[in-house]
């Protein structure tokens, strides 16, 4: 009985360590109006937050096309968050653009726009071709 108890404690400790290492990470966009999500951003075990802190005036674009970030079976369940960290999306909206070839969508549309100050939206791949807005 003691052996089972010690095994359970060791298993739980390993689980906690795994969860601690599979944390989210933050990448800030310090300037400009366009940012390209990368495969490194979607690295295994991460749920990245892409935080816009650019004070450049004008609409912003988070583009999934440049690095061919496709929602497919390989990336099923992967997620990323886009955040207006400095509260300017009301005046300078941030548009997330889905991959066009092969055709992907964001909740069935080609784009999704954050247009409220300090807005934060998470996108998760359904494993086929659609990023689900959470």
So where are the chain's domains?
Answer: 24-133
Residue 3: the pLDDT is 46
Nearest to 100 by CA among 90, 89, 111: 111
CATH class for the domain made up of 24-133: mainly beta
Residue 111: the pLDDT is 97
Residue 26: the pLDDT is 87
Question: For the chain (length 134 residues), average pLDDT per consecutive 10?
Answer: 42 38 76 90 77 95 90 92 96 96 94 98 96 95
Q: What are 70's two structure tokens?
A: 């496709």
**Cis omega (within 30 of 0) for bond into 75:** no
Which pTM value belongs to this model? Answer: 0.79
Residue 46: the pLDDT is 67
């Amino acid at each position: 009985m003691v052996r089972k108890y010690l095994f359970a404690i060791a298993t739980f400790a390993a689980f906690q360590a795994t969860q601690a290492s599979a944390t989210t990470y933050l990448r800030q966009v310090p300037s400009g109006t366009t940012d390209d999500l990368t495969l490194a951003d979607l690295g295994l075990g991460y749920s990245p937050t892409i935080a816009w802190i650019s004070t450049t005036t004008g609409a912003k674009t988070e583009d999934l096309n440049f690095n061919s970030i496709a929602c497919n079976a390989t990336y099923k369940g992967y997620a990323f968050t886009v955040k207006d960290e400095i509260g300017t999306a009301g005046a300078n909206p941030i548009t997330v653009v889905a991959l066009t070839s092969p055709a992907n969508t964001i909740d069935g549309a080609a784009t999704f726009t954050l247009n409220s100050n300090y807005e934060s939206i998470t996108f998760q791949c359904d494993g086929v071709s659609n990023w689900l807005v959470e």
